[in-house]
């Protein structure tokens, strides 16, 4: 086993290990960092809050940063999402959305609505590692072992165009996967509470980018069949796709939205599940009606985490962060083109500041490297030698630059990654 890298400190887009080596943070410390490490404005906000109070419970009480942040989240998320429920990780934000959606239908007057107990999600979906979020997940590698513990979920085929589950290709595809979604809804809508989706990009699946219009079409179908749409923006939210939220690209207004990862700028664990008034109102009633949503995590709405999130959003606003991202996303998109010159690059998928480079043993047949080749892992270790931290998903090399990364740093990210892929794949060809 290789020696573990032990991080000592960070600065902007770089991390330093305990031996003083410097690395570019090409994973945003697992898809979370927005403004770079040790950003003065966020540090200050946390310090100031620390001097007021580090934690007070949100069960029965409120605290100032949690109130201000809830207001802010309502302002910046798609119209209609007016209520905020806090928790502390992406997985919990999803659990909460699932439980709210389920209970929402259980509390309807019309008896037939109470049969709406199942969820639809996509194959290859990833929504977290708790049992509920695993139940709606679609990645066999992470999920198959736990099958006996999971609740039943209906899976629609992912829009994974490079390896289309319906066997289509660019020339004969008319988004047949949407037709499948429609068939499923038509068959199952009476028993379905909600459709859960990672909008535009299925991250952990390997940056599977949906074709344009797919998300809006799914949203429309959900409305037509009166099924709640849950947008899991845990990975894609807060600028990652080049807009504040992925739903913004197609004007989609989900009924529930899950937020985490980038919410605090990558500083502290915090998550939020947003809901519409219609959903919120279904939980109102007399005490003895027991319509309350009985769910609460001990550290929910933690003031330090909420302060970090407020400082993150404040910085985004003051620096026209989303506007400034456009040049970077164009640079990244352009810089990725050269990877097609590498013989073992099968597919390059990207949107905004997230990219996946799928490595294949043979490009014509799209045949994957065998797991034993450990190709992704070897590439990222090679990159590490050259001063870059990235993390693969199987045979897919993932690039998730810190959103504030400069153009020269993005070039560094691209060129080290290119060299690492070239070195490792050529070495493998020789053996």
Ligand X SMILES: *Cc1c(COP(=O)(O)O)cnc(C)c1O
Count H helices and E strands in the chain, helices first: 13, 18
Out of 12, 36, 128, 237, the only residue in the binding site for ligand X (CB under 6 A) is: 128
CA distance 300 to 403: 26
CA distance 244 to 325: 10
94 phi/psi in degrees, rounded to 5: -75, -45
Q: Does 208 bind ligand X (CB under 6 A)?
A: no
Nearer to ligand X, 198 or 358 (CB): 198
Taking CB under 6 A as the binding criterion, the range among 83-91, 144-152, 326-334, 394-402 that sits at the site for ligand X is 83-91
Q: How far is the CB of 241 from ligand X (least distance, A)?
A: 12
Out of 69, 98, 101, 204, the only residue in the binding site for ligand X (CB under 6 A) is: 204
Instruction: From 283, 276, 231, 279, select the one nearest 257 (Cα to Cα).
Output: 231
Q: Does 91 bind ligand X (CB under 6 A)?
A: yes
Instruction: From 246, 414, 411, 266, select the one nearest 340 (Cα to Cα).
Output: 414
Q: Does 127 bind ligand X (CB under 6 A)?
A: yes
Q: How far is the CB of 59 from ligand X (least distance, A)?
A: 21
Mapping DSSP to helix (H, G, I), strand (E, B) and coil, where does residue 341 land?
A: helix
Taking CB under 6 A as the binding criterion, the range among 20-28, 196-204, 384-392, 418-426 that sits at the site for ligand X is 196-204
Q: What H or E segment, with its residue span, contains residue 223?
A: helix 214-224
Q: How far is the CB of 149 from ligand X (least distance, A)?
A: 18
Nearer to ligand X, 261 or 344 (CB): 261
Q: Could you tell me the CA-to-CA distances from 422 to 43, 68, 340, 344, 415 in Å, in that order?
A: 39, 49, 11, 8, 10
CA distance 17 to 32: 19
> Could you say which residues in the range 294-353 bind ligand X, by CB under 6 A?
none
Q: How far is the CB of 152 from ligand X (least distance, A)?
A: 20
Nearer to ligand X, 86 or 126 (CB): 126
Nearer to ligand X, 100 or 360 (CB): 100
Out of 25, 95, 232, 358, the only residue in the binding site for ligand X (CB under 6 A) is: 232
Q: Does 234 bind ligand X (CB under 6 A)?
A: yes
Residues 6+ away with beta carbon under 8 Å from 198: 122, 125, 126, 127, 232, 233, 234, 235, 236
Instruction: From 180, 129, 128, 115, select the one nearest 154 (Cα to Cα).
Output: 180
Mapping DSSP to helix (H, G, I), strand (E, B) and coil, where does residue 365 land?
A: coil
Nearer to ligand X, 215 or 421 (CB): 215
Q: How far is the CB of 431 from ligand X (least distance, A)?
A: 34
Nearer to ligand X, 31 or 321 (CB): 31
Nearer to ligand X, 400 or 421 (CB): 400
CB atoms closer than 10 angstroms to residue 422: 18
Q: Could you tell me the CA-to-CA distances from 11 to 181, 264, 387 in Å, in that order?
A: 45, 17, 14
Out of 36, 203, 356, 401, the only residue in the binding site for ligand X (CB under 6 A) is: 203
Nearer to ligand X, 69 or 424 (CB): 69
Residues 6+ away with beta carbon under 8 Å from 230: 94, 97, 98, 101, 194, 195, 196, 197, 254, 255, 256, 257, 258
Q: Does 126 bind ligand X (CB under 6 A)?
A: yes
Q: How far is the CB of 125 from ligand X (least distance, A)?
A: 8
Q: How far is the CB of 25 from ligand X (least distance, A)?
A: 17
Q: How far is the CB of 111 from ligand X (least distance, A)?
A: 33
Taking CB under 6 A as the binding criterion, the range among 65-73, 98-106, 227-235, 362-370 that sits at the site for ligand X is 227-235
Out of 65, 90, 132, 352, the only residue in the binding site for ligand X (CB under 6 A) is: 90
83 phi/psi in degrees, rounded to 5: -125, 145
CB atoms closer than 10 angstroms to residue 223: 13
Nearer to ligand X, 30 or 166 (CB): 30
Phi/psi-derived region of residue 352, left when phi > 0, alpha when psi is between -120 and 50, beta in every other case:
left
Report the residue closest to ligand X, judged by CB.
Answer: 90
Out of 45, 231, 260, 311, the only residue in the binding site for ligand X (CB under 6 A) is: 260
397 touches 380 (CB < 8 A): yes
Q: Strand pairing partners for 271?
A: 87
Out of 94, 136, 227, 325, the only residue in the binding site for ligand X (CB under 6 A) is: 94
Contact positions toward ligand X, by CB under 6 A? Answer: 89-91, 94, 126-128, 198, 203-204, 232, 234-235, 260-261
């Amino acid at each position: 086993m290789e020696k573990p890298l032990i991080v000592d400190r960070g600065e902007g887009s770089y991390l330093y290990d305990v031996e003083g080596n410097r690395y570019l943070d090409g994973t945003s410390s697992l898809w979370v960092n927005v403004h770079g490490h040790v950003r003065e404005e966020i540090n200050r906000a946390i310090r100031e809050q620390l001097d007021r109070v580090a934690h007070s419970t949100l069960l029965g009480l409120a605290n100032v940063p949690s109130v201000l942040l809830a207001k802010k989240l309502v302002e910046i998320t798609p119209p209609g999402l007016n209520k905020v429920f806090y928790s502390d990780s992406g997985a919990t934000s999803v659990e909460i959305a699932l439980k709210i959606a389920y209970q929402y239908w259980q509390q309807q007057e019309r008896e037939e609505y109470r049969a709406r107990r199942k969820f639809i999600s996509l194959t290859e979906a990833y929504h977290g590692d708790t049992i509920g979020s695993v139940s709606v997940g679609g990645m066999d590698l992470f999920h198959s072992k736990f099958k006996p513990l999971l609740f039943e979920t209906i899976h629609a085929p992912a829009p994974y165009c490079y390896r289309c589950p319906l066997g289509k290709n660019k020339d004969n595809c008319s988004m047949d996967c949407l037709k499948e979604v429609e068939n499923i809804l038509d068959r199952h809508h009476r028993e379905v509470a909600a459709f859960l989706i990672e909008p535009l990009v299925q991250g952990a699946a390997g940056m599977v980018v949906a074709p344009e219009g797919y998300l809006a079409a799914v949203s429309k179908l959900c409305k037509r069949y009166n099924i709640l749409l849950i947008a899991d923006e845990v990975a894609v939210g807060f600028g990652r796709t080049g807009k504040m939220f992925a739903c913004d690209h197609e004007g989609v207004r989900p009924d529930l939205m899950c937020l985490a990862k980038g919410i605090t700028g990558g500083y502290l664990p915090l998550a939020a599940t947003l809901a519409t008034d219609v959903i919120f109102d279904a939980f109102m009633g007399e005490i003895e009606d027991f319509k309350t949503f009985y769910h609460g995590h001990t550290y929910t709405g933690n003031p330090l985490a909420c302060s970090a999130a407020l400082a993150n959003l404040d910085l985004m606003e003051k620096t026209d962060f989303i506007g400034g991202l456009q040049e970077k996303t164009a640079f990244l998109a352009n810089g990725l083109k050269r990877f097609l010159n590498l013989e073992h690059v099968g597919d390059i998928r990207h949107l905004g500041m997230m990219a996946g480079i799928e490595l294949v043993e043979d490009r014509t047949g799209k045949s994957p490297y065998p797991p034993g080749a450990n190709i992704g892992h070897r590439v990222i270790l090679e990159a590490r030698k050259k001063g870059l931290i990235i993390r693969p998903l199987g045979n897919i090399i993932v690039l998730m630059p810190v959103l504030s990364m400069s153009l020269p740093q993005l070039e560094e990210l691209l060129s080290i990654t290119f060299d690492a892929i070239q070195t490792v794949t050529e070495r493998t060809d020789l053996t």
